[in-house]
Amino acid sequence: QVQLVESGGGLVQAGDSLRLSCAASGRTSSVYAMGWFRQTPGKEREFVAAITWSGSSTDYAASVKGRFTISRDHAKNTVYLQMNSLKVEDTDVYYCAAGPSWYVGDRRQSRGYAYWGQGTQVTVSP
């Protein structure tokens, strides 16, 4: 089992920045990819960004590329999502996920991840 705990959500204005954190614990030896997804109630979970457990590779959704940065702190077993130039449409619940595969068909889909955090709300006001 892998446990994931997110933090860092909140209410900000459009154009502001926010950093989300995801602390991983447990059987992290089974993890190859860490991802961030977001979800609006009633809609499917949307891929935001992913990073290999080693931190050597990253991937971003087109909607956030250039504004968001995913990174990894090895010492703290923590993955971060730095969100800059936030837009109202970035408002969502953000989830951290851990999975065994970097295959593109897996890392961009929620089904490619075995473990999920509880989610953290990000609200961007106009």
Dump pLDDT digits (tens) for 48-86.
Answer: 999 999 999 999 999 999 999 999 998 999 999 999 999
DSSP letter, residue 106: H
User: What is the end-to-end Cα distance of the chain in Å, rounded?
Assistant: 40
Tell me the average pLDDT of the chain: 95
DSSP H helical ranges for the chain: 104-107
- Please compute the mean of the pLDDT values over residues 79-100 and round it to a whole number: 97
**114 close to 98: Cβ distance less than 8 angstroms:** yes
Instruction: State whether the Cα torsion 3-63-67-124 is positive or negative.
Output: negative
Grouping H, G, I as helix, E, B as strand and the rest as coil, residue 114 is coil
Calpha distance 66→84 (Å, rounded): 9
Amino acid symbol at 12: V
User: What integer pLDDT is reported at residue 103 of this predicted model?
Assistant: 85
DSSP H or E stretch at residue 124: strand 120-125
Q: Which residue has the tokens 């960004």?
A: 49
